[in-house]
Structure 1
Amino acid sequence: MNTTFFIGQVVGVVSVSAVLLFVFAKLIFRHGSSHVQDGRGHGVLITGCDSGFGNQLARCLDHRGFVVFAGCLSPEGAGARSLARQSSGNLKILKMDVTSDEEVEQAKKMVQEHLPEKGLWAVVNNAGISDWAEIEWSTIKDFRNMVDINLFGSIRTSVAFLPLVRATKGRMVYMSSIFSFFNCLNMGAYSVSKRGLEAFADCLRVEMASFGVKVSIIQPGNFGRATNIVKVKTGFDVWEKLDDDRKQIFNRQYVELASEYFQSSCRTGFQNADMVIHATLHAITAAQPKYRYLLVSALDMFFFRLFPFLPTALTDAVFSLSSMYGKRKEMLYAKQEFSKK
């Protein structure tokens, strides 16, 4: 064996090991971080409090003594009114459409005017929408609407409120999804928006480390039943949107099957949002919050932990095990063969 080559290999291994040990040590012996045991005097802004995670988190933080700024799309709506009625005077409802620069700036002014003694400790970027459709069933408008709320809404809110959170060395929290890394049929637009959101949060985390601000990402699994976030639509609704060319490719029977499959999948999810609320509370209050909170069933945890590290060929092949994908291929192939005759 060539001695120079061998020495070079050893040096390379030692160098890589030294770097890994250094990074590992930094992770273990990170400088102490502030944490909040008592919410009194600390402000938290939560977007999307009309319903779902945001509404429930606002109630939880209010009960723990935080001054909660609950951003709502419809302050006069049933969700906002119920939230205000069941909370203390420390909770303040803000009109806040995260797609509007003007409303976000107005919300910032309101927060500044009512800032508690210890400042704005955290911002929870929770506002979001969900929808389902295959990519060819979606329009550019569908993608734009999804991204404008789920991604740009969070960016718009973050940029506006970061100076206040930086002043307290507080927390920025982002409500993402397993679909940020798990590519699944019918969730194309949603996945695009959440993958972009995580890229933004990851970049922000590195930048904010210099200021002592912690950034966490919440990755819920199937909580459709607990939040009612999934848009209700039928196979007929999808079919009516398709143009003639796409109707030639996707037959009505398959569209109805896809609709039934998606709705049945949603019905198997978690019935309550407790897991998400507890994780978000930890991200806000713990001395060392996690970078990511993967929230799925114990049975699914191993698969989703492993999934991002598998080769693409293998992750794509996983879907072939689903009966739905087999039926899809069979039905659409039959449609194309029939059209050729």
Structure 2
Amino acid sequence: MNASSFTYQLFCIVPGLAVLLLVFAKVFSSRCRSSLVDGPGWAVLITGCDSGFGYELARCLDHKGFVVFAGCLFPQGTGAQNLAKQSSHRLKIVKLDVTSDADVRQAKTIVQENLPEKGLWAVVNNAGISDWAEIEWSTIEDFHHMVDINLFGSIRTTVAFLPLVRAAKGRVIFVSSIFAFFNCLNMGSYSVSKRGLEAFADCLRVEMASFGVKVSIIQPGNFGQATNIVKMKTLSDIWLKFDDERKQTFSQDYIKLAIEYFVSTCRTGFTNADKVINAMLHAITAPSPNRRYMIVSATDRVFFQLYPYLPTALTDAVFSLSSMYAARKEMLYVK
């Protein structure tokens, strides 16, 4: 390429780039000037408000003036009743078992009959459970239970309420986990449910973009202490479920070690839910919410941001560096 032709191409390209930059700057500045979504006149449905993230988010949104439909598994339970007492008349406790088609239909009827003038702005799929066990320690029923709540519960709720959210050009938020992509030891069934949840959310986001509906995924890290969602187990809880074949593979000493390791890991996590609630509020009220909110400690952020892009051989090798993984290998009965 001679100098004159290069100069000519550069002359053609630069103005185009300049135009693109100006358009980008205009769009970006207009977004920055957009105000946050105000609560009054809008409703939000939240699942899993008996405790944890859902409980705290319901209180925050109520305080901001939203009409909150707080889905609770046990509407007469302590958590739901405390939430009602601490909130304004706008907050409505709704019986909602996300595994029940009947509950979801009834909840939709209640929401439709009590919508404020602007409509249903957001659905927050927060209801979920957590459990830990090696895959061979779990039954197919354990997997079914986990997936039915964490994945199908969110799908069931989302599909039912999409017409209302679409009419408002609103938001759908899913509470996932870093375990959706981080294949950690002992979190098999939980990871399966959350990876499926993110696949559903990603597909939904692409489809809903045509309607002006925004979809966000919240990926909390270690918030076991903040939510009490983690199920603690004793040696007998695990050992008594084993058949003879598994008892010949996994020793009681190893199970004790696994329990100690899991408990100690949970104790190193966040002690309050503030960071997650702030991310949820941004996803609901910001003019341009993020597609994903990864909420981990500052020291873990670089690792977890890089992890999904690393070669599988390398991510698998990460576990060989763990003292727990090394001890496990020594304590298994390998023939």
Label 1:35 to 1:284 Cα distance change in 2 as closer, same or farther (>3 A).
Answer: farther
Equivalent pair of 2:123/2:171 in contact (CA under 8 Å): yes
Residue type of the alignment partner of 1:298: A
How much does 1:336 deviate?
3.2
Match of 2:238 in 1: 238
Match of 1:229 in 2: 229
Match of 1:78 in 2: 78
TM-score, length of structure 2 as denominator length: 0.91
Match of 1:277 in 2: 277
Match of 1:68 in 2: 68
Match of 1:336 in 2: 334
Q: For 1:110-259, what aligned pairs fall within 5 Å after superposition?
A: 110-259=110-259
Label 1:235 to 1:87 Cα distance change in 2 as closer, same or farther (>3 A).
Answer: same
Label 1:116 to 1:36 Cα distance change in 2 as closer, same or farther (>3 A).
Answer: farther
Match of 2:300 in 1: 300
Q: For 1:86-125, what aligned pairs fall within 5 Å after superposition?
A: 86-125=86-125
Unaligned runs of 5+ in 2: 1-15
Equivalent pair of 1:235/1:258 in contact (CA under 8 Å): no
Unaligned runs of 5+ in 1: 1-17
Match of 2:10 in 1: none
TM-score, length of structure 1 as denominator length: 0.89
Equivalent pair of 2:218/2:280 in contact (CA under 8 Å): yes
Match of 1:5 in 2: none
How much does 1:185 deviate?
0.4
Residue aligned with 1:249, SS: coil
Label 1:223 to 1:28 Cα distance change in 2 as closer, same or farther (>3 A).
Answer: farther
Equivalent pair of 2:176/2:194 in contact (CA under 8 Å): yes
Match of 2:324 in 1: 324
Equivalent pair of 1:221/1:296 in contact (CA under 8 Å): yes
Percent of pairs with identical residues: 73
Residue aligned with 1:200, SS: helix
Question: Would you say 1:260 and 2:260 are equivalent positions?
Answer: yes
Which digits, 9 at most, give the CA deviation of each residue in 1:317-340, with x for residues without a partner? 0111110000000111xx335xxx
Q: For 1:39-78, what aligned pairs fall within 5 Å after superposition?
A: 39-78=39-78
Match of 2:8 in 1: none
Match of 1:14 in 2: none
Runs of 4+ in 1 over 6 A off after TM superposition: 25-28
Residues in 2 aligned to 1:184 and 1:28: alpha-carbon distance in whole angstroms: 43
Which digits, 9 at most, give the CA deviation of each residue in 1:31-50, with x for residues without a partner? 96986442001100000000
Aligned residues, how many?
315
Residue type of the alignment partner of 1:204: L
Residue type of the alignment partner of 2:179: F
Equivalent pair of 2:37/2:287 in contact (CA under 8 Å): no
Equivalent pair of 1:176/1:197 in contact (CA under 8 Å): yes
How much does 1:26 deviate?
8.0
Residue type of the alignment partner of 2:175: M
- Indicate the RMSD between aligned Cα atoms, in angstroms: 2.0
Equivalent pair of 1:236/1:256 in contact (CA under 8 Å): no
Which digits, 9 at most, give the CA deviation of each residue in 1:162-215, with x for residues without a partner? 000000000000000000000000000000000000000000000000000000
Residues in 2 aligned to 1:221 and 1:193: alpha-carbon distance in whole angstroms: 16
Which digits, 9 at most, give the CA deviation of each residue in 1:51-108, with x for residues without a partner? 0000000000000100000000000000000000000000000000000000000000
